[in-house]
């Protein structure tokens, strides 16, 4: 599976941890940041979402201090369902109920011990479809960028 991953300076260290610890079955497409120097999160949200839109990857992971900015930026793009996740249960439900294709992690509020279990819970979950798809269809009618 190919997954795009991006982070600003605040999420850089956890991005690197994710790639190091979840690299057997995932081909990570890293869009940056490539160091901990200050940078702007919308740049990485756009890069990840565009890879998903072009079907070059199946999903995305974004990290910044609170995750809120990344989620706002990512959700501006058609076909993107980005959500802020801080524990395994939310990660599972976000995929099952909302078919979330961009996992957004608040790096200042998720410990290194929580990080990998959150991602594996999201990856292991499956979208329920049916009435949940109907809800996404309503959102899709609204359009975007």
**The whole model's pTM is what?**
0.94
Residues 57-73 have pLDDT tens digits of 999 999 999 999 999 99
- Whole-number pLDDT of residue 143: 66
User: Domain-by-domain residue ranges, the chain?
Assistant: 2-142
CB-side exposure of 60: number of CA atoms within 13 Å?
Answer: 33
Look at residues 83, 4, 95 and name the one whose alpha carbon lies nearest to residue 50: 4
Return the pLDDT at 24: 86
Q: Could you read off the pLDDT of 102-116 as tens digits, one per residue?
A: 999 999 999 999 999
Q: For the chain, how far is it from start to end, CA to CA, in angstroms?
A: 26
**CATH number at 2-142:** 3.40.1400.10
């Amino acid at each position: 599976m190919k997954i795009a991953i991006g982070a600003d300076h605040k999420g850089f260290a956890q991005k690197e941890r994710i790639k190091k610890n979840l690299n057997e079955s995932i081909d990570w497409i890293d869009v940056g940041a490539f160091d901990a120097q200050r940078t702007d999160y919308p740049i990485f949200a756009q890069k990840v979402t565009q890879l998903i839109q072009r079907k070059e990857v199946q999903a995305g992971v974004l990290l910044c201090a609170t995750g809120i900015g990344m989620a706002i930026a990512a959700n501006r793009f058609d076909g993107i369902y980005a959500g802020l996740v801080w524990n395994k249960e939310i990660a599972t439900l976000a995929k099952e109920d909302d078919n979330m294709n961009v996992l957004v992690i608040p790096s200042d509020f998720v410990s290194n011990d929580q990080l990998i279990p959150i991602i594996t819970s999201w990856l292991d979950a499956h979208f329920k479809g049916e009435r949940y798809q109907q809800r996404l269809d309503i959102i899709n009618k609204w359009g975007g960028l």
